[in-house]
Amino acid sequence: MREVILAKTAGFCFGVKRAIDTVYEQVDSPKDKNIKVYTYGPIIHNEEVVNDLSSKGVDIISNKEELDEIISKKNSQDKIKVVIRSHGIGKDVYDKLENAGIEVIDATCPFVKKIHRIVGEESSSGKTIIIIGDEKHPEVQGIKGWCENTPYIVDSVEKAEKISENISDDIVIVSQTTFNATKFQDLVEFFRKKYYNVCVYNTICNATGERQKEVKELAGSVDAMIVIGGKNSSNTQKLYEISKKECRNTYYIQTLVDLDLTVIESAKRVGITAGASTPNYIIKEVQDSMAELSFEELLNQSEENGNAIKPGSVVEGKVIGVKPDVIYVDIQYKADGIVTRSEYSNTPGLDLTTVVNVGDPITVKVIKTNDGEGQVLLSYKKVAAEKSYEKLEEAFNNETVLTAKVTQVLEGGLSVIVDECKVFIPASLVSDTFEKNLDKFMDQEIEFVITEFNPKKRRIIGNRKKLVVAKKAEAAKKLFDSIKVGDVVEGTVKNVTPFGAFIDLGGADGLLHISEMSWGRIDDPKSILKVGETVKTFIKDINGEKIALSLKFDDANPWANAAEKYAVGNEVTGKVARMTAFGAFIELEPGVDALLHVSQISTEHTEKPEDAFKIGQEVTAKVVDFKQDEKKISLSIRAMMKEEVAEEAAPEEVAEVAEESTEE
């Protein structure tokens, strides 16, 4: 008999149920029959509910233009109510409704309201807002409408990479409440790796997280999976995507009419889940139809109970034929059995003729008594896997570190084989930071521990991240125990940003700020440092787990012997580095700039430095003032020119020139 399993969290969530009840309250028991009720956008992404409300006179305002049209036609006697759906709306729409004197019934989900408050407060302080979600989804559009600056919206690492060079370091991240939790964590890891000051609010609804977790577990334990929900429902689409990865036979329907029952005829276990906008009566219809057995199914069930060969039984057989992709087995039954390549081993592309010979005895498990062509479908790997479960369970209980080769790189993680048992390592558990390219792990031996063991649901989860974190923690402790402020350390450039570079010191990262990269002026850290480069720095400060580094070594300080080189009266040569209204700054050497005041450029009046110089032009001038403590040097070309004039003047003119110079 077919087993039908309904997910506990299937159907309306709190926020959606609250919004729907709110609308029905307005139309089923109105105090004033002349009140016109609208919803801003479809109250939920479910055609059945929307059509029913429409039949009760509830109209939909699809966008701001339609709202403007309603407002323009409204007169003072019109009584209008607008129900805000659970997705919420932007602040500008609220203001427009209020200014028009329209009564607002706010059914925005409290979790969404919280996000509005967060982005409003954080954006008002000038922080960069990143919304992780579908840019076209009404919830995301509503969140965007509460930001006081322009937010960035991303739903993939590819989009995150495109915007990453344009944003400042002070970042606040929020999420669409129905976004995939795993993808959210991957994007958070991306931004945390790239930027220093990242504040994350995990605003994925608890109900959404539970629903996604539950469907993943359920889909991994059934033969077929039914996902019910509206075509435009974001959370239902995500449930379908998650389920499809775990169960190939996953079907997305809106109502029972959309389901072709023949596709699940052979399924013994069927799972059902539904999006947050799916009414209970639709779920019940689908569930009841699944539980009904056809006459053919009852007949097959009777035949199977009367024979020793039935699904789940383990039998001894003999190999009677071998091809690269299939083994034929005599199991002393009315039909021969077959073991396909995928049911012999988890090793992709294995040539079965290299591991099995005709005449070999073989122990197998019956999967189906009729594969559709009169043969019995058998599995060798399930027998081998069951033998290895004991070993894996022991490793799980003892937290034993296992080593295995990566045999598959999947979209959501890595697959390794331990004695014909598949162990899945999710992408979020591969490392402690976001791994953009999992392909590098293919065919590599990796270490991991088992952190979830459920053989009944065919769910064995490996965790490499735990070992990476432990090793890094050990390395970090060793590093912090051995370093102090002032120590010279060597590390590898891990990441270069507009504000500095992160240096891997072998246990922890140190920040080399742009201001500490040189005694001179640096405009772009990437001009002097490259990822992977080895660099020697010294520790300027240690604050908890944060290490500040510097390349401004004292022995290279250009001001150390500046008093002698740039003493008053010395003639010096440098290049024009930058100009202001009051003068030009001359770089005498990296880290040492001197001011050539506009009044000291020439003996003649100069309006502005640009009239005399160009950036990069070499200039020779006389030092007329030197202040070591303030690191200030003043230059003068005018004084140098007057001295030259004095040297060439007649004896009676020398005194006059000297006297004029002294007065200045």
Q: Which residues are catalytic?
A: 139
Which of helix, strand or coil describes residue 138? helix
Alpha carbon distance 102, 35 (integer Å): 11
Alpha carbon distance 577, 379 (integer Å): 76
Q: In what order do the strands lie in the sheet with 80-84?
A: 59-61, 36-40, 80-84, 103-106
Which of helix, strand or coil describes residue 147? coil
Calculated CA dihedral for residues 374, 376, 377, 381, nearest 10 degrees: -160
Alpha carbon distance 105, 84 (integer Å): 6
Task: Quickly count: other Cβ atoms within 10 Å of residue 143's Cβ.
Answer: 29
Asked whether the beta carbons of 398 and 374 are under 8 A apart, the reply is no
Pair of tokens at residue 9: 């969290």
Q: DSSP string spanning 482-535? A: H--TT-EEEEEEEEEETTEEEEE-SSSEEEEEGGGS-SS--S-GGGT--TT-EE
Place of tokens 């033969």: 223
Alpha carbon distance 35, 78 (integer Å): 8
Asked whether the beta carbons of 215 and 189 are under 8 A apart, the reply is no
3-class SS letters over 399-444? CCCEEEEEEEEECCEEEEEECCEEEEEEHHHCCCCCCCCHHHHCCC
In this structure, the chain runs to a length of 664
Place of tokens 């920040």: 511
Which long-range contacts link 574-581 to residues 24+ away (Cβ below 8 Å)? Answer: 574/618, 574/619, 575/616, 575/617, 575/618, 575/619, 576/609, 576/613, 576/614, 576/615, 576/616, 576/617, 576/619, 577/521, 577/615, 578/615, 579/608, 579/609, 579/610, 579/613, 579/615, 580/609, 581/608
Q: Which of 488, 480, 482 is nearest to 550 (CA)?
A: 488
Q: Which of 376, 382, 224 is nearest to 310 (CA)?
A: 376
Pair of tokens at residue 635: 């230059």
Strands 445-454 and 571-580: unpaired
Backbone angles phi, psi at 277, to 5 degrees: -110, 25
Alpha carbon distance 217, 7 (integer Å): 10
Task: Quickly count: other Cβ atoms within 10 Å of residue 296's Cβ.
Answer: 9
Give Rg (Cα) of the chain.
37
Alpha carbon distance 332, 318 (integer Å): 9
Asked whether the beta carbons of 97 and 64 are under 8 A apart, the reply is no
